[in-house]
Amino acid sequence: MKKTVLLFLMICPFYVLFSQTIKGTVINDIEKPIANVNIYLDGTKTGTISAEDGSFTLNLNSKNNNSLVFKKDNYETFTINTSEVLNKKLKVVLIKTKDIEEVVIIPFTETAYKNYIKFFLDSFIGEDQANVRIKNQRSLKFSYDKSNKILRVKAPQTLIIENKNLGYTIDYNLEEFIASFDENTTRFIGTSFFKETKNSDKVKLNRMNAYDGSQVHFFRSVFTGTVKNEGFIVNQITKYPNSKYPTEEELQRLKDFAKTIKTKTITSVPADLLDIGTRKRNEPPYKIAITKTQIPESDYTKKTDGKLFLDYKYMMQINFKKYYYELIKGSFVKSSIPINQTSFLHPEDQSYEIYDNGNTSNPGQLTNQGDFAKDKIEKLLPLDYQLGD
């Protein structure tokens, strides 16, 4: 059952002609001010904290389309696009989480935590867990649905993530983590606030290599119309149903048989069901083929009312030759031998607005694969990062 979130936003006129400012007050449902609320632009280093009387002021360096996040542990998080609240005075009402009913069908257990913590860290943090770690990892709650083979993870507290390689501490509000082992998919979404902890040449080098060829780098180049100049090649991919993959009817037979095993003693599995299971494990649902090469931005984007959108019905293959930066005699130079990277985006005929900072609207809904999917929290940079920072 989806829980109902009671959040209110009252906007009063507060016009400032030449600045980009957001002001307001954060209160609870009985009009009492809430202090120490973290208020930040999602995915950036720009933020503030509400005062004892709940008041706050947030100055923005430039116009942007980031989500403005109001986050305090034990309260429901509230987000709103900055374009809706610039130069206005806000009154934000947050509701305590304990006041909101939640029906938990599959319990969160210590056993699930122990069984799947490694999978979660590999999927969420990435490979380098020695230098990138969640400082309050034990606050995570794990739930595993055995019938449907689905793992869910929630974070009642803001996750404090220390990234020594990139020189940041990230306050991460994990909104959802869900992994389907049957479909072999993992998805997580959340909001983040960055605090810089160090900025040595080594850290700068790591940041440059994390940015170069990333999904953010790609979408920034799409926004500026410099995809080819930045080194990206985009191809059109067409998906074809794989005749060897089980049909919906066959998959349902497999599910029904699995339920039968739990209630009856079965010594052998019918040959046809063994075949269905083998094909499900070894064959992809679709086969793909490159049907158009080096497509221009105009093929997969459109402009509406001065806004740029990713709008494409095909899967996209994004190729990039990555020349890693090296630090030689105090200077950052690119290596001479590239590493070929291949990524896939699945717009699925949906439309996503592309912002100048490399972010998109509803980024959690845009499926990616390949090298883009490898860029987990260990390579996450602020959206206000610029190459060389």
d(CA 327, CA 277): 51
**Mean pLDDT for the stretch of residues 339-365:** 89
Q: What is the pLDDT of residues 357-372, one digit of tens each?
A: 999 988 778 888 899 9
3-state secondary structure of 348: coil
Q: What is the pLDDT of residues 225-234, one digit of tens each?
A: 999 999 999 9
Q: What is the pLDDT of residues 154-211, one digit of tens each?
A: 999 999 999 999 999 999 999 999 999 988 888 899 999 999 999 999 999 999 999 9
Q: What is the pTM of this model?
A: 0.82
Q: What is the pLDDT of residues 77-132, one digit of tens each?
A: 999 888 787 777 889 999 888 655 555 678 889 999 999 999 999 999 999 999 99
* Cα atoms found within 13 Å of the Cα of residue 42, Cβ hemisphere only: 25
d(CA 323, CA 341): 10
Helix (H), strand (E) at residue 221? helix 215-224
